[in-house]
Amino acid sequence: MRPEILNPVFASATTLPGVGPKLIKTLGRLFGLPDAPGVEAKVADLIWHLPSGVIDRSLRPPIAEAPEGQIVTLKVTVDRHKPPPRHNRRVPYKVECADESGSITLVFFNAHGDFLRRQLPDDEVRYISGKVEWFNNKPQMVHPDHMLSEEEFAEMPMIEPVYPMTAGLSPKTFRRAADVAVGLMPPLEEWQDEAWLKKQGWERFQASVVAAHAPQSGADVLAEAPHRSRLAYDELLANQLALALVRRQMKKARGRILEGTGKAREAVLAALPYSPTRSQSEAVSDVLVDMASEDRMLRLLQGDVGSGKTLVALLALVSAVEAGAQGALMVPTEILARQHMATLSEMCAPAGVKVELLTGREKGKVRGDILERLASGDIDILVGTHALFQAGVEFADLGLAVIDEQHRFGVHQRLAIQSKAAGKADVLVMTATPIPRTLSLTLYGDMEVSRLTEKPAGRQPVDTRVLPSDRLGEVIEGVGRAIASGARVFWVCPLVEENQDMDWIAAEARHTALSERFPGQVGLVHGRMKGAEKDEVMERFVSGALSVLVATTVIEVGVDVPEATIMVIENAERFGLSQLHQLRGRVGRGSGKSTCLLMYSGPLGETAKARLKIMRETEDGFLIAEEDLRLRGAGEVLGTRQSGLPEFRLADLAVHGDLLAAARDDTGLILSTDPLLTSERGSALRTLLYLFERDEAIRLLSAG
């Protein structure tokens, strides 16, 4: 149960002044809440919605010296009202005011005269605040932000916070509601270590919340401001603590010992035309040690594009089969599932290991036969999409689940596939999206990590060039020369209006244009096509029947055509860095010299320039990922917003990466000395978990 002291914070935002049934929906939009029954903005949502800027009203010149375009606060005497002619609403309502230095006109459109006469009575002194404009050598102020009496002015803050807004919400209404929300945050027992607070120069939690909503300068709204850093650390600590508790619970359910003889593994390795790299061998060793332990394996295998994760996964799966269990390999797309099926079947043949495929396309009798053989234990390794964890898919004895491109699935699916093994399966998660350490800790903080840091022998560096789109004709001529000499080309089309459902329009147009130039040699793949159609086109490209493959980003992950040596990406400035890096990784996989052409439409913004520059300078995926995080922020770093990524309201991972690492270390220390959070600090930390809605972790504590 959530502590009673937090109830006011989790009350509906309708308890705040000015927030009624209409405004609560607008707030839901502002906070990105799902439009679903029973989901509405809470008081806490306003507390976590921090100002993004400040308005400084401290400039108080005489009227005659009021600077153009700046916000000023003026002490004036109301001179006279000049209402517009009746029945002509287009003429503004004007109020003339003056001080000893001169006069100023206040201008109001669609105004209510009665209201203005009450606010600005003739011959009364008023304080007005807003932006001054000079028109025909005379100052005016359109719709002043404040029109106050002497008593009201004494209450007005000179520095005013500016909040991120949405349509239909007035800043004044939001500020009033946020002020009350902040006042509802109760004084809570301190969950941070006193020495750590002192070292960082941070205040108490409640004081930090108040300070965050009352910035005194532009520096106070920066993510690195002390009160903001304190709140970010609280949120990160809640995240790391919750992840650690989940991990502990999952580890607690005993796993099983999976130790193979090594014979099938040796047969697979002996048939390879190359030797594994040092980091591949180390990763396999990590995995086999985990599998041979009684604890359940929860390991992340991070490897850059083309670093050879599939071989590590295969050797782990074969080892599970040697130990008498079954393996599952789950991938995000059908194209990838079929490709893995072809690769793994060939590699497993020398070891006599039976591999089968299950996607949404296998139906009727074929599907029934696969499920029967799976349940009887006749299939050793099952490769597939999310169809693997649907109802009716029963393994005889699932020992190892390998999940590829985990960030495209999310934690719930990770748990769903484990349920196929009564919660005992070892889990190996792989990602080819290089993830900065900070993001890795938030996505996979419940896992051990292995990294592949080298490329397998024979992989070629990719020559990356950046070209303006007006050189398209030259690029097409160059592609013509390349395919005449036997090369194969990927041609990736841009996001159309940032709408992925519309990618196919650009791809179809480019496919038509290139088909006229190279008849019979150009194929097309996009997300709107049926699976069988996509597969047929891919097979023709792989076999060499087609020389050019025009595609949307459906080819971003895992497609392997060693003969492809040219990658053309149109409107490269519209893609994220990690996405560009993934796409570039489709070439340079064979022995031929490879080229990636990044075509852009100018003029380029600073971020786009920086993105294309780093693509030209390095192929190091981890360096690229760190830069991507810096340029775009965590929410977008994986190409699009991903379900697996926790949304932070206060922490900015590009700025607070060091704090995340500190939170992880602190979590380890906390749980080693107070595993059930029963101490005084432990009790305060439970409140922290509730405050940041990590209630699931509390339930795990209760379960012991």
Predicted pLDDT of residue 623: 80
Rounded Cα distance between 368 and 373, Å, is: 9
For the chain, how long is the longest CA-to-CA vector?
99
Burial of 110 (0-12, 13-18, 19+ CB in 10 A): exposed
- The token duo for 124 is 């009364």
Rounded Cα distance between 7 and 433, Å, is: 41
Determine contact, residues 418/390, Cβ cutoff 8 Å: no
Look up residue 362 and give its DSSP letter.
Answer: -
Predicted pLDDT of residue 448: 80
CA 351-330-445 angle, to 5 degrees, is 115
Strand order in the sheet with 448-452: 355-358, 381-384, 326-330, 398-404, 426-431, 298-303, 448-452
Predicted pLDDT of residue 575: 82
Q: Above 70 in pLDDT, residue 305?
A: no
Average pLDDT over residues 624-628: 77
Rounded Cα distance between 325 and 319, Å, is: 9
Predicted pLDDT of residue 181: 97
Q: Which residue, among 37, 55, 46, 47, has the nearest Cα to 19 in the 3D structure? A: 46
Predicted pLDDT of residue 454: 79
Q: Above 80 in pLDDT, residue 443?
A: no
153 CB-side CA count, 13 A:
16
**Percent of the chain surpassing pLDDT 90:** 55
Q: Mind listing the domains of the chain with CATH numbers? A: 4-55+164-221 (no CATH), 58-156 (2.40.50.140), 263-452 (3.40.50.300), 462-618 (3.40.50.300)
* Neighbour count for residue 212 (Cβ, 10 Å): 23
CA dihedral sign of residues 331, 337, 343, 345: positive
pTM: 0.64
Q: Which residue, among 226, 211, 187, has the nearest Cα to 8 in the 3D structure? A: 187
Beta bridge partners of 597: 465, 568
- The token duo for 186 is 């109760």
Predicted pLDDT of residue 553: 74
Q: Cα dist. 400→54, 256, 411 in Å?
A: 54, 10, 17
Query: Strands 102-108 and 159-162, how do they pair?
Result: unpaired
3-state secondary structure string across 628-684: HHHHHCHHHCCCCCCCCCCCCCCCCCCCCHHHHHHHHHHHHHHHHHCCCCCCHHHHH
Model confidence at 34, in pLDDT bands (50, 70, 90)?
confident
Q: Above 50 in pLDDT, residue 637?
A: no
Q: Above 70 in pLDDT, residue 615?
A: yes
pLDDT tens-digit series, residues 83-121: 998 888 789 999 999 999 999 999 999 888 899 999 999
- The token duo for 447 is 């896992």
Range name among 27-31, 339-343, 633-637 with the lowest pLDDT average? 633-637
Q: Above 90 in pLDDT, residue 430?
A: no
Model confidence at 74, in pLDDT bands (50, 70, 90)?
very high
3-state secondary structure string across 23-89: HHHHHHHHCCCCCCCCCCCEHHHHHHCCCCEEEECCCCCCHHHCCCCCEEEEEEEEEEEECCCCCCC
Model confidence at 498, in pLDDT bands (50, 70, 90)?
very low
Beta bridge partners of 95: 81, 106
Predicted pLDDT of residue 534: 83
Q: Above 50 in pLDDT, residue 251?
A: yes
Rounded Cα distance between 528 and 540, Å, is: 19
Query: Strands 594-600 and 564-569, how do they pair?
Result: parallel
Average pLDDT over residues 334-355: 90
Beta carbons within 8 Å of 684's beta carbon, 6+ residues apart: 188, 189, 190, 191
Q: Which residue, among 568, 364, 323, has the nearest Cα to 465 in the 3D structure? A: 568
pLDDT tens-digit series, residues 260-303: 899 999 999 999 888 899 999 999 999 999 999 988 888 889 88
Q: Cα dist. 663→192, 209, 240 in Å?
A: 10, 19, 7
Determine contact, residues 385/337, Cβ cutoff 8 Å: yes
**Main-chain dihedrals φ then ψ at residue 173, nearest 5 degrees:** -60, -45
Rounded Cα distance between 704 and 690, Å, is: 18
Q: Above 60 in pLDDT, residue 345?
A: yes
Look up residue 4 and give its DSSP letter.
Answer: G
Q: Above 70 in pLDDT, residue 499?
A: no
More confident call, 306 vs 373: 373
More confident call, 557 vs 328: 328
Predicted pLDDT of residue 643: 35
Determine contact, residues 368/599, Cβ cutoff 8 Å: no
More confident call, 51 vs 530: 51
How many helices (H) and strands (E) are present in the chain, helices listed first? Answer: 24, 22
3-state secondary structure of 539: helix
Percentages helix, strand, coil for the chain (3-state, rounded to 5) are: 45, 20, 35
Predicted pLDDT of residue 635: 45
Q: Above 60 in pLDDT, residue 455?
A: yes
* Neighbour count for residue 21 (Cβ, 10 Å): 8
pLDDT tens-digit series, residues 546-598: 999 998 876 655 567 888 999 999 989 888 787 888 889 888 877 778 999 99
Type of residue numbered 512 = T
Q: Cα dist. 626→7, 452, 586, 686 in Å?
A: 39, 17, 21, 33
Q: Above 80 in pLDDT, residue 56?
A: yes
Type of residue numbered 99 = D
